[in-house]
């Protein structure tokens, strides 16, 4: 049995208002060859809630339900990469940066390098921050 992927979970939830049991039942019906349990569904939904790339709404009631409104392609790409990573910490590979993210990192590095002499002079003169 394979693990239910984020893309499969999105297919189950997109545009529907469902609680955890309904998600499990619908996922089991659509993907009978996948290993599905409520704990993994809860973890996946929690990661969707925390992600800036997913628009999901929580409804409080007798049973908490969720409505998945929109999922960015970036979320599916990131979650697919994370699911393939080894759990033991060895052989970890970093996820590549998008060009815009890389540009921001390079700009921050250049800014840090420009401030380095000022910081060194400031700390040498006995002014501790």
CATH 1.25.40.10 describes domain 1-85? no
Is the pLDDT at 10 greater than 80? The verdict is yes
| Least confident window among 10-14, 74-78, 88-92, 99-103 | 88-92
Q: What is the pLDDT of residue 92?
A: 57
Task: Report how far residue 35's alpha carbon sits from residue 29's, in angstroms, rounded to the nearest whole number.
Answer: 12
Is the pLDDT at 69 greater than 70? The verdict is yes
pTM value is: 0.61
Is the pLDDT at 94 greater than 70? The verdict is no
Average pLDDT over residues 66-83: 87
């Amino acid at each position: 049995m394979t693990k239910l992927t984020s893309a499969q979970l999105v297919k189950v939830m997109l545009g529907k208002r469902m609680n955890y049991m309904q998600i499990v039942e619908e996922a089991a019906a659509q993907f009978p060859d996948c290993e599905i349990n409520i704990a993994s569904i809860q973890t996946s939904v929690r990661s969707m809630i925390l992600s800036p790339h997913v628009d999901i709404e929580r409804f409080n009631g007798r049973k908490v339900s969720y409505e998945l409104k929109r999922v960015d392609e970036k979320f599916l790409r990131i979650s697919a990469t994370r699911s393939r990573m080894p759990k033991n910490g060895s052989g970890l590979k970093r996820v590549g940066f998008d060009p815009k993210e890389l540009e921001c990192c390079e700009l921050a590095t250049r800014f840090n390098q420009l401030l380095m002499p000022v910081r060194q002079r400031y700390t040498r003169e006995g002014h501790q921050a």
